[in-house]
Structure 1
Amino acid sequence: MISAICLSLSTLQAQAQHVEYRSTAHYNKRVAQFEREGGIDENTIVMMGNSLTENGKDWAGRLGVPQVVNRGIIGDNTVGMTERLCQITPHRPKAIFLMAGINDMVNDNPAIEVAGRVINLIETIRQQAPTTKLFVESLLPINESNGRWRTLAGRTDDIPLTNMYIRAYCESNGITFVDIFHKMTYPNSNVLREELSSDGLHITEAGYRIWEKEIKKQLNF
């Protein structure tokens, strides 16, 4: 019964016209911007995620595909992404590239719990847009050497563990998992290479070029 209620709520959410959830001021601003822009249809490829996705800016230009839209929001987590699916899934886009989970690692949430939150988001997307091709991107590595991100202190090795859980789920359910993590670490390490980030979390243009390359490999579908 609980599952049926949750599915009904998800269906109602997918049919909604507006995002009722309110998070940060930036979240609200971006959601309002997306509502004004619209522009998602069955030919659209959606880049959905947090600051890493938003800061990629012109993903259409990066990938050389005009129908790609950037739906990243700085600071967003799986809750915020779930709440704003109503702007995306009812339009049945051609594909969604999803990156989520790094902002769910705060408050010492264990890797398996973070992975569970991402998996719940994946399942909601599949329920609401079953014809949309879904690509799940790995969480990216971090580099704790500058000590800037205290909420992620000690989480370097939890990120690949979280990726392992998510990857296993994807492989068991016929979902494409895009491993970007291992393209950005030092050899035999879980640490983000210093030249790919200025703050140990957000990536530089060199990092985005690696990301672009991995996404381009998936565009022939």
Structure 2
Amino acid sequence: MGRKILFISIGFNLLFLIITGLSFVKFDKVDAGAKKSNAAKRTGFHYYERTTLFNELPIPPDSIVFLGDSLTFRTEWSELFPGKNVINRGIGSDTTEGVLDRLDSVIAAQPRKIFLLIGVNDLKNRSVSATIKSYSVIIDRIQTGSPNTEIFIQSLLPVNNSKYGNILTNDKIKKMNMKLRSLANSSGVHFIDLYSTFAKDDQLPEEYTIDGIHLTGKGYILWRESIKEYVGS
């Protein structure tokens, strides 16, 4: 009887060890997956896919980097500026926090110039002051890690509320742009006012957008014309 109880006890202990081991393996896999997808939570797997692509395509020396969200991502910068060694580092739906998460690889390349356009997605859920705080960290990290890089802060563009709805107002965008101008002045970097170039009656004109926030081909040509002197200088 005592031997029978002993065998039963050993069996339960073995079963406990097996279950515990399986749980640990499962947790470890889930934890690893979570680490992999943390950056993707903000924007879906598009963010993670783009960053893995960037890891495989290091930025060449003496490059001009366009860094931002879907507005940057959705055009062919190397075709807009042929022969200028232009690199696209835009990710759809990205935010200032998303840029901070992936900024090291850009800084490591020591690019000649960086053109920043980021923050409009932040403003859907964050205050202007919180967004500017993250933006200032971006500038500080670039200046510290790549002091010879020339930085161009591009203002946010207006939206067309009749097409885009009231997810975001142009009043909030204008407040953000005022803070961006001040940040550029205090940091000693360039500020490019794209808002004034694009806005008509404080809206993004229909000829430049289909959905109210992203640009048509005409919109990208206007953008190019607005910054070509800075890209080429």
Q: TM-score, structure 2 length as denominator?
A: 0.78
| Structure with max Cα Rg | 2
The 1:40/1:220 distance shift into structure 2, 3 A limit, reads same
For residues 104 and 51 of structure 1, the distance between their equivalents in structure 2, rounded to whole angstroms, comes to: 13
Task: Confirm whether residue 65 of structure 1 aligns to residue 79 of structure 2.
Answer: no
1:29-67 deviations in whole A, cap 9, x for unaligned? 1111111121432x11101000000001x2011022341
1:141-156, aligned counterparts within 5 Å?
141-148=158-165, 151-152=167-168, 155-156=169-170
Alignment equivalent of 2:214, drawn from 196, 202, 209:
202
3-state SS, counterpart of residue 143 of structure 2:
helix
The answer to whether the 8 Å contact 1:160/1:190 transfers is: no
4+ runs deviating over 6 angstroms: none
The answer to whether the 8 Å contact 2:124/2:167 transfers is: yes
Paired position in structure 1 for 2:5: none
Alignment equivalent of 1:27, drawn from 18, 25, 47:
47
Paired position in structure 2 for 1:104: 122
Paired position in structure 2 for 1:115: 132
Alignment equivalent of 2:197, drawn from 177, 183, 186:
183
Count of matched residue positions in the alignment of Structure 1 and Structure 2: 195
For residues 139 and 94 of structure 2, the distance between their equivalents in structure 1, rounded to whole angstroms, comes to: 15
1:63-85 deviations in whole A, cap 9, x for unaligned? 22341010000011011111111
* Unpaired segments ≥5 residues, structure 2: 1-35
Q: CA deviation at 1:213?
A: 0.9
* Unpaired segments ≥5 residues, structure 1: 1-18
Q: TM-score, structure 1 length as denominator?
A: 0.82
Partner amino acid for 1:55? R
For residues 62 and 137 of structure 1, the distance between their equivalents in structure 2, rounded to whole angstroms, comes to: 17
Paired position in structure 2 for 1:3: none
The 1:220/1:39 distance shift into structure 2, 3 A limit, reads closer
3-state SS, counterpart of residue 217 of structure 1:
helix
The answer to whether the 8 Å contact 2:114/2:151 transfers is: yes
Q: CA deviation at 1:220?
A: 4.1
**Larger RCO of the pair (alpha carbons < 8 Å, separation 6+):** 1
The two structures, once aligned, show a CA RMSD in angstroms of: 1.8
Q: CA deviation at 1:160?
A: 1.2
For residues 103 and 185 of structure 1, the distance between their equivalents in structure 2, rounded to whole angstroms, comes to: 19
Partner amino acid for 2:189? I
Q: CA deviation at 1:21?
A: 5.3
